[in-house]
Amino acid sequence: MSDVKAQLQEAFERTGLRQTPQRYDVLAWLVRHRKHATAEEIFDAVNRTNQRLSRATVYNALHALVESGLVRPVAGEGAAARFDATLDRHHHFICDRCGSIEDLTWFDLPSKAMQAAAGGRSVRQVEITLHGICQRCARGKTKQATASV
Amino acid sequence: MSDVKAQLQEAFERTGLRQTPQRYDVLAWLVRHRKHATAEEIFDAVNRTNQRLSRATVYNALHALVESGLVRPVAGEGAAARFDATLDRHHHFICDRCGSIEDLTWFDLPSKAMQAAAGGRSVRQVEITLHGICQRCARGKTKQATASV
DNA sequence: TCCAACTTTAGATTTAGTCTAAATAGTGTG
DNA sequence: CACACTATTTAGACTAAATCTAAAGTTGGA
């Protein structure tokens, strides 16, 4: 319990992210409930104990936490937004800064290890996305950015 | 040109998806423009040449195309919707049927090949998601589903 | 203590995506 | 070819998710 508390505090310090009660609550909830929650679920849950917590703050907190690497956004379900009609196999690269998506040439995966990790589940498709800074942005020609949520 | 046309027709036949002018236009546009477009961009573009094309139809068409494997949804930018506060490394499994997200134990990737594919880009993080049918759904205990876009 | 920067808040606003009911198009059968 | 049946499209209303805004509240450092 207080173990977790210490761990979280340490995490905030380590990343240099200012710790506010709201951010702490959001992170703590996410750590406690290991499900992959939506912003709305987090809002509802945290709001139940901490009455006046604004929806916008949940989004702010999540942004900040993702930014500093303590939380990872996962694209599930209908959260697609972009489409790709390629019939050839390839992977993707997404730029943290400008959000652009680029195709990468295909490389094979360790299917043995993958099968093991998948357990009994039947796998239809594997999706690999690398995140980082694209070459345009690296060269400082940053156009603009829309931060990821 | 007409080469592409034949290829697309072939693709429709192969997947058994009924070919309609709207679906054809959407797929053709996606093939021609290799960018990873949003539904809105596709709507705007296709609508420019094919005047009366409804927004809903673009979504319908995309659904159908994704369903039959001709188009792949890519989660970019703000399209996250779910969050995950884990400090331990892991991969994800998303069920096509019920949309649930499960954690998979970590397995290493072929970093050599990956580096090569990444070219000069600096990679901060790698994200791996397997798609398929989860064990609950496989057992027929399907609760319900929200189809992926 | 005071200031400046940062954060939170409530609620309005924007945007993406879905839904609906009616019209249209396509398919197979006799 | 006519028929009935099913699938698809349409416009626009609707819903839900996320962002924005301006004002109020916190915080840490000089």
Give the tens place of pLDDT for each residue, A70-96. 999 987 766 668 999 877 889 999 988
Residue nearest to nucleotide D11 (CA to C1'): B54
User: Would you say B40 and B81 are in contact if contact means Cβ atoms under 8 Å apart?
Assistant: no
* Beta partners for residue B62, in sequence order: none
Selected residue with higher pLDDT from B100 and A141: B100
Full DSSP string of B44-59: HHHHHHSSS--HHHHH
Q: Would an 8 Å CB–CB cutoff place B113 in contact with chain A?
A: yes
Nearest to B138 among A101, A122, A127 (CB): A122
Residue ranges, comma separated, of all CATH 3.30.1490.190 domains in chain B are: 90-138
Cα dist from B96 to A92, A125, B134, whole Å: 20, 10, 8
pLDDT for residue A98: 83
Closest to A84 measured CA to CA, from B41, B32, B37: B37
Element (H, E) at A15: helix A2-15
Structure tokens, A32: 């406690």
Strand D neighbours among B 68-87, CB < 7 A: 78, 80-81
What is the percent of chain A with per-residue pLDDT over 70, rounded to a whole number? 89
Average confidence score pLDDT of chain B: 86
Q: Which CATH class is domain B2-67?
A: mainly alpha
CB-CB contact of B131 with A123 (8 Å): yes
Whether nucleic acid strand D comes within 7 Å of the CB of A126, the answer is: no
Lowest-confidence range among A21-25, B16-20, B53-57, B87-91? B87-91
pLDDT band at B77 (very low <50, low <70, confident <90, very high): low
Query: A141 by DSSP, 3-state: which?
Result: coil
Distance A12 CA to D29 C1' (A): 20
Confidence of residue B142 (pLDDT cuts 50, 70, 90): very low
CATH 3.40.30.10 assigned to B90-138: no
